[in-house]
A and B are shown apart, each in its own frame.
Chain A
Amino acid sequence: MIAGKTWREVRGMGLAYCLLLELLLVPAVLLWPDVKLGLSAIMKMMPMAILRDMFVQMTDSNEEVAYRAYLSVQVFFKGVNIVGIAAAVLLGTGLIARERENQTLEFLVSRPISRSRILWSKFWVTALVVVVPIFVTSWTVIPLSRVPSVDFEISLESILICSVHASVFTVAVLTVTLLCSVLARSQVVSAFWIGAFVIFQATIYFVQGIRVVSVFQLADFYVYGPVMAGNVSAGSLFLGKTIWVALFAAACYATADRAFRRVGL
């Protein structure tokens, strides 16, 4: 019941998010030969070392190495980290806060169903809506890369490894958003707190000395690039990084669940 209702509420935005990811990806791949020519010029204008390093790899003399680096930036570092997180925030902020704002929360929590089940039903549907487009879009890369103007073979394995990690990272953002939604009086307040968190994390990511404490370090080019290049195995990524992100997500969800069981109307 609640899962169906949640699907009804988020499916439109989920479809828009999936289309947006595809719309960003398709021209990015098809224009690759032209883009590569301009990357050296763009690299010289990059103010931050971390971005310059990324461009160095995208302009590698080995065309395939450069293309794989470019894909990891376009699909995962830029696409999922920006559009995916935006979707998680937009969809997640209202999950509980909007019910409270519209005065429907009292109706919902007075039904013969536990608060934990209400939260879980809302969460898993939203998590699916956030995650499925990541897999769909990243899979699109494989046939798209075979167009004559590009013509590279991208392995399903590397795409899947990156997609799993990107999905876990996006779901982790969704759990933080869910926690804000449980605690906030309205969706605007919830969006403010999660927005402030994301902007703060993004800001410190670009500061050399303190980048290590930014959560975005767990899902940046230097995570996806080596996987796409075939230099990092699934086990190494999952045990080294993904597991910690997943544990963080689980802790956030458990906190949100505990808070929702205690929070007032």
Chain B
Amino acid sequence: MTTPGEPIVVTRGLAKRFGSAHALRGLDLELRAGEILGFVGPNGSGKSTCLRVLLGIVPRDAGDVSVFGLDPARDELAIRRRSTYLPGETSVYSYMRGDEYLRFTLAFHPRRRELPRDIAELFELPLRARVRTYSAGMKQKLALLATLQVDVELYVLDEPDRALDATARLSLRELLRALSNEGRTVLLSSHHLSEIEALAHRTVFVLAGRHVSEPSVAAARQRLRGELRLRLSREIVWPAGADSIESDGERCYRVRFDREPLQWLAGVPADAIESLEFGTTRLDDLYRALLDAGRADGEDAPP
């Protein structure tokens, strides 16, 4: 067993190519025991490849990787005995019944954990029915049940909230929080930034196969701190003094400053302001800022 705070996953300069395409270009990652780590990046940024390398499903081309102190290229079975993985594509056998599928998948691990009853009820499925009759969301719930009922130390989840409705996503949050409270470690890749924001202790951004460094993230946060989000009830004439004003939906605006915004804000008619947000950094804004900057960590370093 691992002790809290102990490094579970460590990668240094992880690289992987598929033909001429670079999936990973020197990714550094660290995940500690008991942590929920959010893994965020656009499609094709290398997140799924990284998860597959960690579990020894695909071999790496370069870099150092350690999971539970083991090398996935040599000890993949030992790593997989202590972890469970939910692939990004829903992979369920449609000819099986739901209960058959659960029996089949859970048989690969010796121990099961009971899900909190109130949460499990929200994941209730017609287990006697064939999986082929399930909707996409039900198939995803089944795959999640099969993954989260396994009693292991590390849960590697590639887009677990895909195809889930809002209720199921809330239940999934509770399930993942319960895992964390039990001291288990979760590596969570998702496109739903709100899920990551609500759950993850830390977030790693991946762009073009590289992680975005802490200084880059801090700089982006700093830029966003000087950003004000406004929702107006009517059109107004903007007061002078803002660096830029961008529309972000109907009568929603993002206003940027490089100085104190309160004086500028005094020029906005108070009765026109429906809502106002300042000084907070939303994950989706941060993600957009990082994408805009396009500066993955190590970009200038040799591959």
Contact = CB atoms under 8 A, between A and B. Distances in A.
A107 B81 contact: no
A155 interface: no
B148 to A, nearest CB: 15
A230 B246 CA distance: 93
Given A1-B107, A112-B109, A264-B58, A107 B87 contact: yes
Interface string A219-246: 0000000000000000000000000000
Interface stretch (B35-43, B89-97, B173-181): B89-97
A149 interface: no
A5 B93 CA distance: 10
For this complex, into which size category does the number of interface residues on chain B fall?
Answer: 20 to 34
Given A5-B104, A112-B108, 8 more contacts: A8-B95, A102-B93, A103-B87, A103-B90, A107-B87, A110-B52, A111-B80, A114-B77
A114 B109 CA distance: 14
Contacts of B205: none
A8 B104 CA distance: 12
Which 9 A-B pairs have CB atoms at the shortest separation, nearest pair first? A107-B91, A112-B80, A103-B89, A112-B81, A111-B108, A104-B91, A106-B87, A110-B85, A1-B107
Interface of A: 1, 4-5, 8-9, 102-107, 109-114, 264-265
Contacts of B212: none
A1 B100 CA distance: 11
A110 B107 contact: no
Given A104-B92, A104-B93, A265-B58, A110 B87 contact: yes
Interface of B: 18, 52, 55, 57-58, 77, 80-81, 85, 87, 89-96, 104-105, 107-109
A260 to B, nearest CB: 13
- Say whether chain B's binding surface is mostly helix, strand, loop, or mixed: loop
Contact of B108 (A1, A102, A103): A1
B55 A110 contact: yes
Contacts of B18: 264
Given A112-B81, A112-B109, A1 B57 contact: no
B96 to A, nearest CB: 8
Contacts of A111: 80, 108
A105 B57 CA distance: 10
A1 B104 contact: yes
Q: Which of A105, A107, A109 has the most B CB atoms < 10 Å from its CB?
A: A107
Contacts of A104: 91-93
A9 B109 CA distance: 22
A79 B77 CA distance: 43
A120 B90 CA distance: 25
B77 A113 contact: yes
A105 B93 CA distance: 11
A111 B106 CA distance: 10
Nearest to A103: B89
Contacts of A113: 77, 108
Contacts of B55: 110
A110 B80 contact: yes
Contacts of B104: 1, 4-5
Nearest to A105: B91
Contact of B57 (A8, A102, A106, A112): A106
Given A109-B57, A113-B77, A114-B77, A103 B109 contact: no
